[in-house]
Amino acid sequence: MFAVSGNNIDQTLSRLFIAETKEQLEKFTQILVNIDNEPNRLETEVHELFRIAHNIKGSSGMMGLNSVKEVMHRIENHFDAIRQGNAGLSSEMIDVLLRLSDDLSNYIEAGAWESPWDSQSWLEMLGFESQEKTGPTGTRSKQPLEFNEEQAKLLESWQSSGKKLYRVDLTFRRDAAMKAVSVFTLKKHIEQWASVFTVVPAMDDPALEQADGAVMILQSETVLDGATLEKISHYPVFDLEKVQIELWEYRPKPSKPVAPVVERAPVSADQTIRVDSIKIDRLINYIGDLLTVKAGFNDLLERQEQSKAAWNQLTRLVQQFEQITGDFQLALMELRMVPLNQIFARFPRIIRDISKRLNKPVDIEFFGEDTEIDKQIAEKLVDPLTHLIRNAMDHGVESPEKRQASGKSPTGKIRLGASQEGDYIVISISDDGNGINVEKVRQKAINNKLIDPSAQLSKEEIIRLIFAPGFSTAEQVSDISGRGVGLDVVETSIKSLKGEIEVESEEGKRTTFRLKVPLTLAIIQAFLVKCGNQIMAIPSVNVLESYAVRPEDIRDVGGNAVFSLRQEFVPLFHLNRLFGQEDSVASESGILSLLVVQRGRNKLGLVVDELVGQAEIMIKQINKALPDNPLVSGATLLGNGEVALILDAKQLIAEVLQGKAG
């Protein structure tokens, strides 16, 4: 069995195997959901399902994961039978395949491959026999068995007390006319030696007359001898072609995929990015251009001329260098970008599962899924988007009966899409459900003592209350939308990405959540300012303009300094206060230098000692050992070797306006 070790080759192969297998399982899941929604797609999509099963079978065999290989081989055979027109794909089997995909994905990612995957349970759930029992040429598929909680407890208690369980597989003749009578006849014969625990399908189930076979589970106080087994398997019943009996062991089915628990850290595939070869070729071309510029610099150094021609050549080389490095940087950033459809593709499966649990038919519509975003941000968007999708299904979309009563289609609709706005990506999740009941939210906030009953709040301010920790208007706690956690976890996640979230709702008609997050967290445009001896960087996306305030523009309102900006009063804040320094002083003419920054509708004038200018900076995380300051989001190294602190403008504006900063 292949195992992860400290060897570099093993680690590389493992990461590649995990990344590729997870990618194929995601596509496998997506195709199955599509087929479940549109069964007529099976004829065209089954070829891709066959290919995926074949690929996973081959790669898992190469890695020594024989239990995975066996299951995928049997699934591959089943898809091949579908292609030949000899088998079908029921909704029940799709359910099992989707659960299998989840379980296999968790097993692969955990990396605990020394413990074999529970292939036997999955083979039984799929209705396939294990190779161990049928041999390489076995073609007989066993009837899958499901037991309720009470039956499962009985089977477990019998086994633990030493009682024996037997499985009897019945195969009907092609021309069988009275299958239920045949099963009853054999059942009465068997009860001479053992009790019949269950029959699948049940004898009063109409499906039995349409089935090719049936299964009996027997319970016996002792082991049945060979003669008894012969009497059971060879008992003549007219409509039965074959009776096969064997000692059987009950194994609880994995109702929910659970990854194996391992002591060591699992191998992670999160660092893997698939890159288009055209992007690699572009980088190689830029390297060639840089080498040409380098040769030009070397030529100047060797000649050591100080003529006008040499200076002109140096100027041209510097300009070329700036152009190439700018293009090179953009090309490198593109390597980290992934289309959002890689994230969106998982949501039809989630909606399908919840739709079945809640009995709410819902269609999902996508737009802008080709919009690209930094892979690191995309991965961190999965949880908040999943929470919002679940929330829309649970609290937004009404039941079919309520929708019809209000004149809507019984099938709900969720729209998920993305668009780019400058250096930001805006992702929206909309549902055509019952909207947010503003009065209900307000009353809940009063009950939770979040607001005073006399508080006069706008509709937008009341809706924002749904992001308060633990806030929920649900009558019952559900494990669908958040287990009573609330939407504060979504807002916290988005804030950690330096983004923001907005809500629009029309009661009885719709609700839309908009998540606005940066394209990347690595490199940003920033405005540099000086406070004392410290350079500060403020993201340009939050800067409206630089400004010079004249003394006559400054007013005192309620003890706070404000200035007039085109007939609008904007509060002033001295940035030096963040570091316990004296306020910035005006120039000899009495003019103060400041940046006007904005968060939503709120504006703030940041008074600084000097406006340095704009620059493109790379964000670096601050050492975690240093004291945490929520107003400082990172640091960057400037071209002159100085370190500049990067301010979180949104947090700064919020705290200044609330009177916390300074």
Q: Are 577 and 583 in contact (CB under 8 A)?
A: yes
Number of domains in the chain: 5
432 and 542 housed in the same domain: no
Q: Are 503 and 490 in contact (CB under 8 A)?
A: no
Q: Give the CATH number for residue 382.
A: 3.30.565.10
pLDDT, one tens digit per residue, over 325-374 is 778 777 777 777 888 888 888 888 888 888 888 888 999 999 998 888 88
469 and 409 housed in the same domain: yes
Q: What mean pLDDT is reported for the chain?
A: 80
Residue 182, SS3 per DSSP: helix
51 and 120 housed in the same domain: yes
For residue 484, being part of any structural domain is answered with yes
- Domain termination site, one of 134, 165, 188: 134
pLDDT, one tens digit per residue, over 138-182 is 334 455 577 877 888 888 888 888 888 899 999 988 878 788 888
pTM over 0.85: no
Res. 90: pLDDT tops 70? yes
Gap between the Cα atoms of 427 and 494, Å rounded: 11
580 and 649 housed in the same domain: yes
pLDDT, one tens digit per residue, over 365-406 is 999 988 888 888 888 888 899 889 988 988 889 999 999 998
Cβ neighbour number for residue 462 with a 10 Å cutoff:
18
- pLDDT of the residue at 428: 93
For residue 618, being part of any structural domain is answered with yes
Residue 202, SS3 per DSSP: coil
pLDDT, one tens digit per residue, over 611-639 is 888 887 877 777 665 666 778 878 888 87
- pLDDT of the residue at 122: 87
28 and 126 housed in the same domain: yes
Relative orientation angle of helices 8-37 and 91-110, to the nearest 10 degrees: 160
Q: Rounded to 5 degrees, what are φ and ψ at 100? A: -60, -45
Nearest to 662 by CA among 544, 591, 564, 576: 576
Q: Give the CATH number for residue 105.
A: 1.20.120.160
- Domain termination site, one of 231, 248, 265: 248
Exposure class string for 63-89: b at 16+ Cβ within 10 A, else e:
bebbbbbbbbbbbbbbbbbbeeeeeeb
564 vs 189 pLDDT, higher one: 189
Residue 661 pLDDT class (50, 70, 90 cuts)? low
Gap between the Cα atoms of 517 and 79, Å rounded: 42
Q: Are 131 and 70 in contact (CB under 8 A)?
A: yes
Q: What is the mean pLDDT of residues 420-449?
A: 87
- pLDDT of the residue at 416: 93
Q: What is the mean pLDDT of residues 49-59?
A: 88
461 and 382 housed in the same domain: yes
pLDDT, one tens digit per residue, over 593-615 is 888 888 777 888 888 888 888 88
- pLDDT of the residue at 10: 58
Give the type of residue at 586.
Answer: A
Res. 258: pLDDT tops 50? no
DSSP 8-class letter at 392? I
Gap between the Cα atoms of 382 and 380, Å rounded: 6
510 and 589 housed in the same domain: no
Which span out of 215-229, 256-270, 542-556 was modeled with the highest average pLDDT? 215-229
Res. 413: pLDDT tops 90? yes
* Percent share of the chain, pLDDT over 70: 86
Gap between the Cα atoms of 480 and 351, Å rounded: 11
Tokens of 275: 């890159």
Of 272-276, 316-320, 471-475, 535-539, which range is least confident?
A: 471-475
Q: What is the mean pLDDT of residues 422-446?
A: 88
For residue 97, being part of any structural domain is answered with yes
Gap between the Cα atoms of 66 and 59, Å rounded: 10
Helix, strand, coil % (nearest 5) of the chain? 45, 25, 35
For residue 451, being part of any structural domain is answered with yes
For residue 184, being part of any structural domain is answered with yes
Residue 198, SS3 per DSSP: strand
Res. 68: pLDDT tops 80? yes
Residue 330, SS3 per DSSP: helix
Question: E strands, 288-402, where?
Answer: 337-339, 362-367, 372-374
Res. 203: pLDDT tops 60? yes
Tokens of 532: 């004392």
For residue 323, being part of any structural domain is answered with yes
31 and 180 housed in the same domain: no
Gap between the Cα atoms of 183 and 185, Å rounded: 5
Is-cis flag, bond preceding 201, omega within 30? yes
pLDDT, one tens digit per residue, over 462-519 is 888 888 876 766 655 555 554 334 688 888 888 888 788 889 998 888 999 999 988 8
- pLDDT of the residue at 485: 47
Per-residue DSSP letters for 401-450? HHHHHTT--SSEEEEEEEEEETTEEEEEEEE-S----HHHHHHHHHHTTS
- pLDDT of the residue at 266: 37
498 and 562 housed in the same domain: no
Domain that holds residue 172: 149-248
pLDDT, one tens digit per residue, over 262-302 is 333 333 444 566 677 777 777 788 788 888 888 888 888 77
195 and 105 housed in the same domain: no
399 and 327 housed in the same domain: no
- pLDDT of the residue at 262: 34
549 and 648 housed in the same domain: yes
Gap between the Cα atoms of 521 and 218, Å rounded: 62
211 vs 8 pLDDT, higher one: 211
Nearest to 385 by CA among 468, 483, 489, 507: 489
* Percent share of the chain, pLDDT over 90: 9
For residue 319, being part of any structural domain is answered with yes
For residue 63, being part of any structural domain is answered with yes
- Domain termination site, one of 335, 370, 385: 335
